[in-house]
Structure 1
């Protein structure tokens, strides 16, 4: 290539003129001295915005191409001219899909008054519900106020929510206890207490889930519930080997009488504790409900026992079954110590036996019969695919009173396996207007 005064000659002359015009080279101060400098100058000139032609307003006019690099010069590294982006318009709503794309499936309409069909096995519907029923609940869905704290007794504080879970043999357990909407709003502690424990090891281990609810509108309700769970946990733990053996052997009668005795003893100690504290035993009381699960995969016996109201449900073949033992199904005897003086103190001192004969305070007015809760017991054999749900009244009442809640949990828990802890918490806290008590629940998924 020939050069004259820093300006190319020959067939490159037209290209150079497009970039710099026909001005003569004024010397080293105004023009590049080397070929590499000229390459850089040419690249800068092509990439400058003012050298790129503006688009024509006439859409039918041919587009003006950017100047090409001279054929006689090798293209330096990094010298590129990017093409203009091509705008892509989104299809308008309601327009036909693009050629070759499958149209989105449209679900079939559900007739009014009917429930949607259950999801296929393995497909868990997304939980996007805060509440079910005719209208939103009165209180906020999240905690508002914390319970008052005593700086000298911080161990008395109760967490808003407790969540636990495990898997042994063919059973997967999920358990939760959460403060009700009313207590969250008023800054009251959770009256429900939850205990999950494993006694023993290997296939001979025994799982206990205990839940208790303290008396309403009493200052020590949460303490009474926690103490009831600890007492029954201690009693079951000391007898877990015999209880597990009775469950594997199917000795229902022995289980019923033994657990009746342990329940009465635990609640009797609770009343003795109330006497020691100088508290009215009727106020320092608790409803107690328990579930026993053997870790042996060959034993599918599930045992419920306790005293007081609540719920025991079974989800089988996509349908809820209310299997809470009725009074006629129980042993027919009141729980020893429930509603009567304790049989012994926590220290083991024997007290006068209560024969159930009320002593009138005067010869003219007979004393009212103390309230007594019957012992509740049920032993059942689980099937693969079953879901067993034990809960306090805070969840049992809305389950029985609001069909939409039962239908929602049925869709969530049918044919999709056990949920994770977070999903289980979300499922159990779906609210219903008019039900604002604490909720405690334990569910067992069978495989």
Structure 2
């Protein structure tokens, strides 16, 4: 073999005969060799004594399999190697011809720092979707706009049809990214009315886009929509202003002294239509994509909340699958509160956070998506 791993002149004929169907069999079996048989023979020969052939499983001594210290990959393997719901392993989702676009991972995990806060986020496919062999409908997106203390972090969660949820989270991130500098300034200055008006317009454009896509597909609007909830966090550690906005079902909770408090904004008349000063993004120009022309994007009201976080609090933004468990099942809420209350003063690691989300909501059929922010 050459240094590049290619057969040299001396061995080129031998490699060609390996794939030649007319070459005589050399094995001890009476049946003709298959191409797999020949490949296995070659890999065993190249591996040599004491070496495993490519692709072969290798066993390790128990002592070598347990590295010292905390290993995220090991912890995740231990916690998620089994079926997440503790039952039979579900079906792999079926996608269309454009699999690269439609493929949706079963589980997503995010973590990071944001100003004076630590963030963990996860989205898990529910038992119902796993059994049916359909993709996770929930979507999770965590992005940062701009570097330095002037930056802004967006955490967005959505539930519904999986194509619509991913479109909704990406669209809201794209819209906010175009006006992120002014948006970050409004958040730092606590300009509630400007934020309410601008974010309402952004939300309407996102859902207008979904309506336009549904119309192009000749599908009813309800078949291509999502419940979208978003959280804005400034990167400035001296700014503790937090902004929530969105449409539809889900949850917004605060964990303080081991107890959950429901912060979900109530429906009000002022949330029925956007009003107030300037939008955060430029309006669509004539001849360009203007999905909001199709009329009101959502029948349910826009939700908005701005508040000042306090050190020691943990904030939970979630989709309806988890919100239902926190609101309706006392044991689920208690388990999550115990797991996420910063035991020993430390924020749970990513693996522990994901494990708590799964184990704390065992028995829930739907997807569960959570973003938790610990204030310092």
| TM-score, normalised by the number of residues in structure 2 | 0.70
Confirm whether residue 438 of structure 1 aligns to residue 367 of structure 2: yes
Q: Is 1:403–2:343 an aligned residue pair?
A: no
2: distance between equivalents of 1:150 and 1:414? 42
Tell me if the contact between 1:335 and 1:373 (Cα under 8 Å) persists in the aligned partners.
no
Structure 2 residue aligned with 1:331: 270
**1:149 aligned to 2:122?**
no
Structure 2 counterpart of 1:249, from 167, 170, 189? 189
- Any conservation in 2 of the 1:314–1:322 contact (CA below 8 Å)? yes
Shift of 1:350: 7.7
Q: Which runs of 5+ in 2 are unaligned?
A: 1-78, 80-84, 276-283
Alignment of structure 1 residues 140-289 onto 2, 5 Å:
140-141=86-87, 143-214=89-160, 221-289=161-229
Shift of 1:280: 1.6
Give the aligned CA root-mean-square deviation in angstroms: 2.7
- From 343, 353, 364, the counterpart of 1:424: 353
1:353/1:140 Cα in 2 relative to 1: closer, same or farther (>3 Å)?
A: closer
Alpha-carbon shift at residue 320 of structure 1 (Å): 1.2
Deviation at 1:352, TM superposition (A): 5.5
Distance in 1 separating the partners of 2:121 and 2:287:
29
User: Where do 5+ consecutive residues of structure 1 fail to align?
Assistant: 1-129, 131-138, 215-220, 337-342, 357-369
8 A Cα contact 2:322 2:361, kept in partner: no
Superposed CA deviations along residues 103-139 of structure 1, whole A, max 9, x for unmatched, are xxxxxxxxxxxxxxxxxxxxxxxxxxx9xxxxxxxx6
Structure having the higher helix fraction is 2
Give the alignment partner of residue 347 of structure 1, picking from 250, 265, 288. 288
Cα distance in 2 for residues equivalent to 1:184 and 1:212:
18
- CA distance in 1 between partners of 2:249 and 2:285 (Å): 25
Change in 2 beyond 3 A, CA 1:349/1:442: closer
**1 CA distance for matches of 2:222 and 2:375?**
39
| Residues 331, 375 of structure 1: 8 Å contact kept | no
Match of 1:116 in 2: none
Q: Distance in 2 between matches of 1:371 and 1:264?
A: 8
Give the whole-Å Cα distance in 2 for the aligned partners of 1:263 and 1:226: 14
2:355 is paired with a residue whose SS is: helix
CA gap of 1:418–1:272, structure 2 versus 1, over 3 A, is same
Cα deviations across residues 31-86 of structure 1 (Å, max 9, x unaligned)?
A: xxxxxxxxxxxxxxxxxxxxxxxxxxxxxxxxxxxxxxxxxxxxxxxxxxxxxxxx
TM normalised by structure 1 equals 0.60
Task: Point out the structure with max Rg over C-alpha.
Answer: 1
Contact 1:195 1:229 in 2 (8 A): yes
1:351 Cα deviation after fit: 7.2
SS of 2:354 mapped into structure 1:
helix
Deviation at 1:425, TM superposition (A): 0.3
Shift of 1:144: 1.5
1:349 CA displacement? 4.7
Query: Is 1:298–2:238 an aligned residue pair?
Result: yes
CA distance in 2, matches of 1:269, 1:322: 31
**1:311 maps onto 2:251 in alignment:** yes
SS at match of 2:316: strand
How many residues are paired up? 285
1:35 paired residue number = none
Distance 1:352 1:441, change over 3 A: closer
Kept in 2, the 8 Å contact 1:345–1:351? The answer is no
In structure 2, C-alpha distance between the alignment counterparts of 1:249 and 1:418, rounded to whole Å: 29
